[in-house]
Amino acid sequence: MTRSRGEKFYVIHSKAEERRNEFIGKPKPGITICPECRAVFFEKHWHHADAAPYRRADTKGKEVHYARCPACKMAKDHTYGGLLKITGVPAAQESEMMNLILNFVNRAYKRNCQHRLLRFRRVGRRGAYTFEFSDNQLAVRLARALQKRFKKVAVTVRYPHEPLKVSEVTLSFS
Ligand SMILES: [Zn+2]
């Protein structure tokens, strides 16, 4: 299925109306579609493109807008809502840890299209990684899940950019 800006439900706004909606954070009326991931904003939340409520929603006659969703915006701007730094992963536990992380990330995304792992990379020495998430609590919850599985790890959680709720979580294997 392809959708384009020229689709039949697209309605051009009047200039005055566009101006009223221009300030940041003001949701536009109707439906907004993210051109990157196809997530759909309606009823105050972003939903997966194939979300049941979207299929049920009657799009006929509604205005359709195109704008990046917050998670895609973060990916593009290289920002994040939560950072998890992991150090000292024993080689023997690395693949188990990565599997747990991938499963966690997949489940989180299935539940909420805005909950994503944006980037991850291996850092310098062996057994060190950073993971950047779209949501601050994802980093915290993942660290707790890893702690439960691997026992001998220390976790610290900080919010160093207050009032921004950006989390920075460190997890070190002992
Ligand atoms: Zn998106």
Please check whether residues 24 and 42 belong to one and the same domain. Answer: yes
Compute, in angstroms, the gap from residue 1 CA to the centroid of ligand 1.
17
Residues lower than pLDDT 50 in the chain: 1-25
State whether residue 130 is helix, strand or coil.
strand
Please check whether residues 82 and 145 belong to one and the same domain. Answer: yes
* φ and ψ at residue 128, rounded to 5 degrees: -120, 135
Token pair of 112 as six digits? 């909420």
Of 100, 108, 110, 156, the residue nearest 134 (C-alpha): 108
Instruction: Tell which of 27, 46, 68 closes a domain.
Output: 68
Q: What's the rounded Cα separation, in Å, for the pair 152 and 172?
A: 9
* Interval 6-43: pLDDT, tens: 333 333 344 444 444 443 445 567 788 899 999 988 87
Please check whether residues 108 and 146 belong to one and the same domain. Answer: yes
Please check whether residues 101 and 47 belong to one and the same domain. Answer: no
* Interval 73-85: pLDDT, tens: 999 999 999 999 9
Compute, in angstroms, the gap from residue 33 CA to the centroid of ligand 1.
8
Compute, in angstroms, the gap from residue 122 CA to the centroid of ligand 1.
25
User: How much is the pLDDT for 63?
Assistant: 80
Compute, in angstroms, the gap from residue 99 CA to the centroid of ligand 1.
25
Please check whether residues 129 and 164 belong to one and the same domain. Answer: yes
User: How much is the pLDDT for 55?
Assistant: 61
Q: What's the rounded Cα separation, in Å, for the pair 128 and 120?
A: 11
Residue pair 134/114 in contact (Cβ under 8 Å)? The answer is yes
Compute, in angstroms, the gap from residue 41 CA to the centroid of ligand 1.
10
Domain-embedded: residue 61:
yes
Domain-embedded: residue 114:
yes
Residue pair 136/82 in contact (Cβ under 8 Å)? The answer is yes
Supply the pTM of this predicted model.
Answer: 0.78
Domain-embedded: residue 8:
no
Please check whether residues 143 and 87 belong to one and the same domain. Answer: yes
Domain count along the chain: 2
Ligand 1 ion: Cβ-proximal residues, 5 Å cutoff: 34, 36-37, 39, 69, 72
